[in-house]
Amino acid sequence: MMWLLVLVWAFLVEPAHARGIRGAVRAMRAVSATARTAQGYGRGSDGIEVLTVGALRVCLARQHDIEAFDARSAEREAALAKSEAAVKQRVAALEARAATVDRTDAAAVARFNASVSAAEAAAASHNAAIDLWQQEVAAINVTGESFNRDCAGKRYYVEDYAAATRAGL
């Protein structure tokens, strides 16, 4: 019976996103704010690329995605932490209860096994939520990398920015 508890405990995964994501997103946000307010002073005459209206639209969409991710990341991380705490609490309760189960009473053993199965299902659900979150983090990292490569620090004309923002962003 104890090996089941160890198996449940093994399902618990510390969230890899716990601390580094929020700082990385804030850094990307600062870069996006810099790119948003920078102004171009010549269309390529000095050899520095100036973003077109179309490129600005793409950059603004990426910036929007990054900011939306940042806005929901704290809530999502709190939910994952709450879920993790609940699973750990269930495992601790099962470990404490394991010693008191009357192994000669088939009904008591069946109830305990049902509790173990429920704890394993909760752990699997928690792990699936972490996997989904990690996929979202990987996707926003790609968005951030493309923003940094294509948009950050690039110049543009104020008129082009106005035209890009009038287009629905």
pLDDT in tens, 10-31: 333 333 343 344 444 444 444 4
Contacts with 52 (C-beta within 8 Å, 6 or more apart), sequence order = 156, 160
Condensed to tens digits (0 to 9), the pLDDT of residues 95-130 reads 999 988 989 999 999 999 999 999 999 999 999 999
- In percent, the amount of the chain with pLDDT more than 90 equals 51
Q: pLDDT by residue (tens digit) across 133-162?
A: 999 999 999 999 999 998 888 888 899 899
What does the alpha-carbon distance between residue 134 and residue 39 come to, in Å, rounded to a whole number? 36
Look up the pTM and report it.
Answer: 0.63
Q: Hey, what are 40's tokens?
A: 């171009």
Question: pLDDT value at position 157?
Answer: 86
Residue 42 confidence (pLDDT): 38
Mean residue pLDDT across the chain: 77
Q: Of 140, 130, 165, 142, which Cα lies nearest the Cα of 51?
A: 165
What SS3 state is found at 51?
Answer: strand
